[in-house]
């Protein structure tokens, strides 16, 4: 009896130990932290990935919005979570910007990148009734009257602010010649432009899509190496002015630093399968999001390059501390 | 006509009707749980709608949000926890009615006039969406600045008693809204190095603390205080509603129009609509002294306004893909996913689906009556519970709600701190409602002012240069200074005569 109960105890302990290792991951629901609000692009893609991941892994994936602090709060929540595979998150381009502004000490090195799944290049939008027919017209107008044309589309020092500042600098114009009006996001910036409050909104094409289709705004240029297939008439900046300047927002699935190999070995193939699935592709195409894929060393190289490039521009235009 | 017939066919499908009924129950539940908002109901529905046809997908969201905005009134009325921020404006009024033993009447008014306001907003959405959206799109930060100033002026009207105490409360709320990184300069303010405070003081835990926790503390401080007066002879929730509809027809119309218009503005939603409607109701009432003592007039007007705003918010969302509030911000994503791309073309390309969605708006608002009636019947039983049992349960719900909004224990801490603040304020005769208003509008006030100043290169007259902004500005200044002006003129006239 005694020996048998001892055996049972040992077996039980072994089972607990087994369940405790990540080998059987996932054995309970997974939390997916989104550093931005419900309804935005990051939230939308996270929820689609979450519901597809649920089917792949057989465990519920709860998408949780940890908003505020221009992304600092949510990114911190992911980085400081226990690296057991039960807290994952979506990391966005801002992780490579916030630390240059002195808002946080976190960089992309505080995370385990699984895969970068989306890239949206910046565009340059003006109101449909504006006199600027090409990016050259707009740049000339900014150069002729510094400070007169105002731009908007995200918070102070945000990704689209950086996009236009870098473009102006590359064209030999003072980045301060188009003062930035902070806004809650691209949608409110576009609305303000149509209402006549600002003149330029350098946001991504998917964000401006409804207004483009409604004929309320015009897209002059896209800051990317190639044209957007949905809007093939919009030239790239290189084609229009010869400038090599590009800027894009990206999104990645990550975990806290030190995610065990057992977790990544199971998570990466699942994500890869989702990324290739018809549901995901249809969703991204319908919303106009750019599909992209980078994993492992390639992802790390991408992040390091993005970090250096953003830091250089932020210092050059005077946003970095 | 063909499109309309097809639309009816799309809606009257048993599967669609089942989805509508299910989302109605879901919306009622989410709205009634403090801390879970109508926006969250929508976000939770998105992964489910992912696997549905366009019409049931949109129908689920329309129904759930309409129900949630109404059912937010239920805990606000019964235990002084507004279920959603849109109910905060008249929570004190409804709670005062409950204490007088008129919970039935307060909830009945909330239900019936919510449904009527929602239907009014839907009619406007169907008939005038493109025209109204054009107007809403004319609003820039200059116009919003004055709109926020008008909203803040409401603080003086919604606070019972001394206006000075109302202003103290308002400025406390405005000061709290300064905390965090989400300001125009993107610079951390008053955060003391805390990551949580970087994300600013969230509104829901603060609201729960100030309203509900302060009430629990008050009960704990004097447990012998008079218990709720519950009518044993529980009448029909709908009794007297016909008479109210006649008595308050003007309030109903005013609230519905105001709610629809504010909802259609991209920068303002159901909560702001409710505050302004309540203040307007008191200002224009024949018996303003009854406000705050348990008088249904303000509940009628603001209850209609917040549901009308939910419908109104769809106007810019459908026509230009510009969200009218945080709910439609999510809806736009779903519309794209379902191939109903927002824009003027949606009225041509997807006419049958769009008409089907419009029909769902009416069904949802009509269904609110039986579903809401059942919810009130069930919820009312909690008033019969001994308070020594009820209060701990309320506290439990407060904690869950404060935690749920951001999934962080920090929210629970905020709730406790503001519970004590609210208790101290009320025991000194300072109303809490204006503080909540200040917290809601503080960030918007700063954003719109700073944006306007950047745009006009620091010229303060820029706030008056655009026609709509100039008019709104003149009205605001008139409301502020008219009493002073009239008094001064009288003083001058007195010695002359």
pLDDT digits (tens, 9 = 90+) for A229-259: 889 999 999 999 999 999 999 999 999 999 9
Task: Report if residue B100 sits inside a domain.
Answer: yes
Measure the CA–CA gap between A35 and A90, rounded to whole angstroms.
Answer: 7
Residue (of A59, A58, A60, A32) closest to A46 by Cα position = A32
pLDDT of residue B232: 47
Measure the CA–CA gap between B205 and B411, rounded to whole angstroms.
Answer: 6
B51: closest chain A residue by CA: A279
How far off is chain A from B16, nearest CA to CA, in Å?
22
Measure the CA–CA gap between A151 and A126, rounded to whole angstroms.
Answer: 10
**Interface ipTM:** 0.81
pLDDT of residue A23: 55
pLDDT score of A16 more than 70 = no
Q: Taking CB atoms and an 8 Å cutoff, what residues of chain B touch A50?
A: 47
Per-residue buried b or exposed e for A12-42, using 16+ beta carbons within 10 Å of the residue's own CB: eeeeeeeeeebeebbeeebbbbbbbbbbbbb
Measure the CA–CA gap between A125 and A211, rounded to whole angstroms.
Answer: 10
pLDDT score of A129 more than 90 = yes
pLDDT of residue B378: 84
Task: Report if residue B32 sits inside a domain.
Answer: yes
Task: Report if residue B483 sits inside a domain.
Answer: no
Cβ B326–A190 below 8 Å, yes or no?
no
Q: Could you write out the DSSP letters of every residue in B290-345? A: GTTSS-HHHHHHHHHHHHHHHHHTHHHHHHHS--SSHHHHHHHHHHHHTT---STT
B180 SS3 class: strand
B193 touching chain A per CB within 8 A: no
Let me know: does A99 contact A106? Beta carbons within 8 Å: yes
Measure the CA–CA gap between A148 and A234, rounded to whole angstroms.
Answer: 25
Q: Which domain holds residue B221?
A: 2-465
pLDDT of residue A22: 45
Phi and psi at B434, nearest 5°, equal: -60, -30
pLDDT of residue A17: 44
Q: Where are the domains of chain A?
A: 27-118+248-316, 123-241
Residue (of B149, B387, B363, B374) closest to B276 by Cα position = B149
Q: HSE of A83 in the Cβ direction (CA atoms, 13 Å)? A: 15
Q: HSE of B494 in the Cβ direction (CA atoms, 13 Å)? A: 6
Per-residue pLDDT, averaged over A18-35, amounts to: 77
Task: Report if residue B487 sits inside a domain.
Answer: no
Q: Taking CB atoms and an 8 Å cutoff, what residues of chain A touch B198?
A: 68-69, 72-73, 103
Q: Which residues of chain B have pLDDT under 70?
A: 1, 160, 224-235, 495-497
Cα-Cα-Cα-Cα dihedral sign, residues B84, B86, B92, B95: negative
A41: closest chain B residue by CA: B333
- Domain A27-118+248-316 CATH assignment equals 3.40.190.150: yes
Start-to-end Cα distance in chain A:
71
Tokens of B67: 């129900």
- If you compute the radius of gyration of chain A from its CA atoms, what whole number of angstroms results? 23
**Considering only the top CATH level, what class is A123-241?**
alpha beta
Q: Between the CA of residue B28 and those of B16, B22, B66, B265, what are the distances in Å?
A: 18, 10, 9, 26
pLDDT of residue B111: 93
Q: What does DSSP say about strands A151-152 and A180-181: parallel, antiparallel, or unpaired?
A: parallel
B329 touching chain A per CB within 8 A: yes
Let me know: does A218 contact A126? Beta carbons within 8 Å: yes
Tokens of B495: 């010695």
Nearest CB to B341; choose among A76, A152, A213: A213
Cβ B455–A76 below 8 Å, yes or no?
no
Q: Taking CB atoms and an 8 Å cutoff, what residues of chain B touch A209?
A: 321, 336, 341
Let me know: does A126 contact A220? Beta carbons within 8 Å: yes
Cα-Cα-Cα-Cα dihedral sign, residues B478, B482, B483, B484: positive
Q: Taking CB atoms and an 8 Å cutoff, what residues of chain B touch A190?
A: 322
Question: Is A123-241 in the same CATH topology as A27-118+248-316?
Answer: yes
pLDDT of residue A15: 46
Task: Report if residue B188 sits inside a domain.
Answer: yes
Phi and psi at B375, nearest 5°, equal: -65, -40
pLDDT of residue B225: 61
Cα-Cα-Cα-Cα dihedral sign, residues B2, B4, B5, B9: positive
Q: Taking CB atoms and an 8 Å cutoff, what residues of chain B touch A182?
A: 184-186, 447, 450-451
How far off is chain A from B181, nearest CA to CA, in Å?
5
What SS3 string covers B265-281?
CCCCCHHHHHHHHHHHH
Total beta-carbon pairs less than 8 A apart between chain A and chain B: 168
Task: Report if residue B496 sits inside a domain.
Answer: no
Which of A192, A208, A215, A280 best tests the B interface by mutation, with the highest count of B CBs <10 A? A192
Measure the CA–CA gap between B366 and B101, rounded to whole angstroms.
Answer: 27
How far off is chain A from B194, nearest CA to CA, in Å?
10
What is the pLDDT of chain A when averaged over all its residues? 89
Which of A45, A63, A189, A197 best tests the B interface by mutation, with the highest count of B CBs <10 A? A197
Cβ A69–B199 below 8 Å, yes or no?
yes
Q: Which residue has the tokens 């190095």?
A: B193
Let me know: does B268 contact B147? Beta carbons within 8 Å: yes
Q: Which residue has the tokens 């980078």?
A: A294
Measure the CA–CA gap between A240 and A224, rounded to whole angstroms.
Answer: 12
Q: Is B189 exposed, middle or buried (0-12, 13-18, 19+ CB in 10 A)?
A: middle
What SS3 string covers chain A?
CHHHHHHHHHHHHHHHHHHHCHHHCCCCCEEEEECCCCCCHHHHHHHHHHHHHHHHHCCCEEEEECCCHHHHHHHHHHHHCCCCCCEEEEEECCHHHHHHHCCCCCCHHHEEEEEEEEEEEEEEEEECCCCCCCHHHHHHHHHHCCCCCCEECCCCCCHHHHHHHHHHHHCCCCHHHCCEECCCCHHHHHHHHHCCCCCEECCEHHHHHHHHHCCCEEEEEECCCCCCCCCCCCCEHHHHHCCCCCCEEEEEEEEECCCCHHHHHHHHHHHHHHHHCHHHHHHHHHHCCCEEEEEHHHHHHHHHHHHHHHHHHHHHCCCCC
Let me know: does A205 contact A230? Beta carbons within 8 Å: yes
Q: What does DSSP say about strands A217-222 and A111-121: parallel, antiparallel, or unpaired?
A: unpaired
Residue (of B61, B62, B72, B65) closest to B110 by Cα position = B72
Cβ B333–A287 below 8 Å, yes or no?
yes
Total tally of structural domains belonging to chain B: 1
Task: Report if residue B417 sits inside a domain.
Answer: yes
B344 touching chain A per CB within 8 A: yes
Phi and psi at A151, nearest 5°, equal: -120, 155
For residue A81, the tally of other CB atoms under 10 A from its CB is 16
A283: closest chain B residue by CA: B337
Let me know: does A59 contact A29? Beta carbons within 8 Å: yes
Measure the CA–CA gap between A290 and A229, rounded to whole angstroms.
Answer: 10
B182 touching chain A per CB within 8 A: yes
Task: Report if residue B476 sits inside a domain.
Answer: no
Q: Which helix (H) or strand (E) holds B285?
A: none
Q: Which residue has the tokens 């993005």?
A: A306
Measure the CA–CA gap between A86 and B245, rounded to whole angstroms.
Answer: 54
pLDDT score of A54 more than 70 = yes
Measure the CA–CA gap between A311 and A107, rounded to whole angstroms.
Answer: 12
For residue B310, the tally of other CB atoms under 10 A from its CB is 34
pLDDT of residue B198: 85
How far off is chain A from B137, nearest CA to CA, in Å?
6
Cβ A47–B46 below 8 Å, yes or no?
yes
pLDDT score of A6 more than 60 = no
How far off is chain A from B448, nearest CA to CA, in Å?
9
- B401: Cβ contacts below 8 Å, ≥ 6 apart: B33, B34, B35, B36, B81, B204, B205, B208
Q: What does DSSP say about strands A111-121 and A248-256: parallel, antiparallel, or unpaired?
A: antiparallel
pLDDT score of A117 more than 90 = yes
Which of B343, B444, B453, B466 best tests the A interface by mutation, with the highest count of A CBs <10 A? B343
How far off is chain B from A140, nearest CA to CA, in Å?
20
pLDDT score of A136 more than 60 = yes
pLDDT of residue A123: 96
């Amino acid at each position: 009896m005694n020996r048998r109960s001892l055996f049972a105890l040992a077996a039980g302990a072994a089972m607990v130990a087994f369940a405790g290792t990540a080998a059987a991951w996932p054995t309970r629901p997974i939390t997916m932290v989104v550093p931005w609000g419900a309804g935005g692009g990051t939230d939308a893609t996270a929820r689609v990935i979450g519901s597809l991941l649920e089917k792949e892994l057989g465990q519920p994936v709860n998408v949780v919005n940890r908003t505020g602090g221009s992304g600092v709060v949510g990114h911190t929540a992911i980085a400081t979570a226990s690296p057991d595979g039960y807290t994952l998150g979506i990391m966005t381009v801002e992780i490579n910007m916030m630390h240059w502004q002195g808002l946080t000490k976190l960089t992309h090195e505080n995370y385990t990148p699984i895969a970068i799944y989306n890239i949206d290049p910046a565009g340059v939008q003006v109101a449909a009734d504006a006199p600027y027919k090409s990016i050259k017209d707009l740049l000339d107008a900014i150069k002729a009257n510094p400070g007169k044309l105002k731009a908007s589309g995200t918070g102070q020092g945000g990704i689209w602010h950086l996009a236009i500042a870098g473009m102006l600098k590359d064209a030999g114009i003072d980045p301060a010649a188009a003062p930035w009006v902070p806004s809650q996001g691209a949608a409110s910036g576009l609305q303000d432009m149509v209402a006549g409050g600002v003149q330029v909104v350098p946001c991504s094409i998917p964000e401006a899509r409804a207004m483009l289709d409604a004929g309320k705004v015009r897209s002059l240029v896209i800051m990317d190496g190639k044209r957007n297939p949905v809007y093939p008439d919009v030239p790239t900046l290189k084609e229009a002015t010869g400038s090599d300047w590009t800027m894009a927002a990206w999104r990645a699935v990550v975990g806290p630093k030190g995610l065990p190999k057992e977790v990544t070995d199971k998570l990466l193939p699942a994500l890869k399968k989702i990324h290739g699935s018809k549901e995901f592709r249809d969703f991204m195409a319908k919303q106009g999001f750019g599909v992209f894929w980078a994993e492992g060393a390639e992802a790390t190289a991408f992040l390091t390059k993005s970090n250096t490039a953003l830091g250089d521009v932020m210092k050059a235009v005077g946003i970095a501390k | 006509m063909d499109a309309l017939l097809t639309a009816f066919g799309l809606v009257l499908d048993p599967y669609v009707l089942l989805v509508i009924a299910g989302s109605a129950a879901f919306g009622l539940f989410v709205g009634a749980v403090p801390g879970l908002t109508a926006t969250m109901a929508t976000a939770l529905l998105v992964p489910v709608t992912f696997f549905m046809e366009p019409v049931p997908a949109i129908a689920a969201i329309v129904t759930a949000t309409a129900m949630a905005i109404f059912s937010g009134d239920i805990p606000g009325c019964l235990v002084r926890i507004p279920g959603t921020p849109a109910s905060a404006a008249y929570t004190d009024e409804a709670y005062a009615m409950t204490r007088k033993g008129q919970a039935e009447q307060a909830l009945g008014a909330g239900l019936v006039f919510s449904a009527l306001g929602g239907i009014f907003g839907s009619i406007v959405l169907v008939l005038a969406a493109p025209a109204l959206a054009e107007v809403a799109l004319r609003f820039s930060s200059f116009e919003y600045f004055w709109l926020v100033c008008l909203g803040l002026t409401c603080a003086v009207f919604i606070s019972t008693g001394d206006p000075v105490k109302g202003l103290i409360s308002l400025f406390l709320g405005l000061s709290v809204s300064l905390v965090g990184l989400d300001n125009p300069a993107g610079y951390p303010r008053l955060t003391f190095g805390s990551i949580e405070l970087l994300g600013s003081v969230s509104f829901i835990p603060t609201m729960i603390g100030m309203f509900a926790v302060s009430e629990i503390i008050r009960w704990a401080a004097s447990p012998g205080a008079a218990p709720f007066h519950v009518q044993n002879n529980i009448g029909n929730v709908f009794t007297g509603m016909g008479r109210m509809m006649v008595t308050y027809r003007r309030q109903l119309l005013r609230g519905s129009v105001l709610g629809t218009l504010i909802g259609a503005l991209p920068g303002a939603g159901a909560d702001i609509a409710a505050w302004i409607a309540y203040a307007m109701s008191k200002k224009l009432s024949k018996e303003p002294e009854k406000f705050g003592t348990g008088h249904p007039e303000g509940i009628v007007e603001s209850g209609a306004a917040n549901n009308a705003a939910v419908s109104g918010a769809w106007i810019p969302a459908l026509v230009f893909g510009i969200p009218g509030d945080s709910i439609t911000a999510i809806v736009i994503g779903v519309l794209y996913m379902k191939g109903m791309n927002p824009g003027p073309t949606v009225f041509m390309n997807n006419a049958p689906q769009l008409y089907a969605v419009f029909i769902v708006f009416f069904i949802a608002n009509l269904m609110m009556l039986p579903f809401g009636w059942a919810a009130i019947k069930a919820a009312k039983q909690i008033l019969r519970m001994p308070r020594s049992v009820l209060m701990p349960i309320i506290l439990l719900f407060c904690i869950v709600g404060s935690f749920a909004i951001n999934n962080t224990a920090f929210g629970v801490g905020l709730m406790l701190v503001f519970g004590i603040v609210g208790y101290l304020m009320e025991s000194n005769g300072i109303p809490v409602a204006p503080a909540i208003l200040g917290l809601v509008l503080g960030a918007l006030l700063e954003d719109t002012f700073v944006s306007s100043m950047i745009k006009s290169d620091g010229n303060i007259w820029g706030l008056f240069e655009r026609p709509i902004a100039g008019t709104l500005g003149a009205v605001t200044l008139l409301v502020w200074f008219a009493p002073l002006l009239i008094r001064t003129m009288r003083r001058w006239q007195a010695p002359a005569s």
